[in-house]
Amino acid sequence: MNRSLFAVAASLLMASPGAHAQMPGVPTLQNAWANRGLAAGLNAGTGGSSQVIAAVASWAPQNGRFEISGGAGFHDRDDGGSGGAYGLRGAFPIYSFARGSLGIAGFLGIGGAWLPDAETLTHRGGTMTQVPVGVGVGYRRAFSFVRGASVYATPFYSYNRLTVADSTETENLFRIAFGLDVGITRNIGVTAGVEFGGSSDESEPGPTGSVFGIGASYAFRSR
C-alpha cells in the first residue's frame, strides 16, 4: 500500500518515522519533508473497489534532499481479483519556509498489482499499473504530548492502466489526498489519510471512489 498504509516533524531538525507505499488501493500520501535515514512499517488501505495490506520502507540521506520509498503486499479487488502488489516512489523537497514549519515537495511514483483470478475483460486476470506525479504541501509542529505532528495535502495526476492478455485500457485522473502523521516517540510514527477526486467506472482502471488508509512505521535511528 507511499509510503502506506501510513512523517512527522517535531522541530526544524527532526522528522518522525515514516514510510508510505505507492500501490493501487492505498491513498497517495506525500509529506513535504524527507525522513532522514531508514524507516520501515505496515500500511493498509480500503476503498475504490479494493483492499490492500503491505510492508513498506523508506530511506533518505542525512541532507534530506530526496527520499526513496517502496513496498510490497497483497491486493484484493471487490470483483474477485486478488494478487501481489508493489510500489516505488521518489520524493524531492522543493522549498521550506515559515522557519521550517511549512514545506513543499514534488514526487513521482509507480505501483502495480497482479490479478491472476480477476473477472476483468476476458476473465483471465490481468495487471494494473498506476503512475502518479504531484506535490505534497505540509505543515508541521511539535507538541508536548507527542513527538510532533504534520498535516498535508497531496494533489496529483494519476495515469492508470489495466492489461488483460492483448487488451489494454487506460484512464487519466486528477485526485487529491489529505494525511496526518504523528510521531509517537523518536522512533515510532503513525499515519492516517484519505484520497478522493476523479474516479473510474467499475470496468475501467483506477480507483472508483474514495480510498482510506492507515499505517505505522519505525525509524532505525542511530544513538
Share in percent of the chain as helix, strand, coil (round to 5): 0, 60, 40
pLDDT tens-digit readout, 51-83: 899 999 999 998 889 999 999 999 887 765 678
pLDDT greater than 70 at residue 121: no
CATH fold for domain 9-219: Lipocalin (2.40.128)
Of 36, 38, 41, 40, which Cα lies nearest the Cα of 14?
Answer: 36
pLDDT tens-digit readout, 132-179: 999 999 998 877 656 788 999 999 999 999 887 778 889 999 999 999
Please, which residues have CB within 8 angstroms of residue 194's CB and are 6 or more apart in sequence? 27, 177, 178, 210, 211, 212, 213
Kindly report the backbone phi and psi dihedral angles of residue 64, in degrees, each rounded to the nearest multiple of 5, phi listed first. Answer: 65, 25
Spatial distance between the Cα atoms of 165 and 32, rounded to a whole number of angstroms: 39
For the chain, the structural domain boundaries read: 9-219
Global confidence as pTM: 0.84
Which residue carries 522528522 as its cell? 15
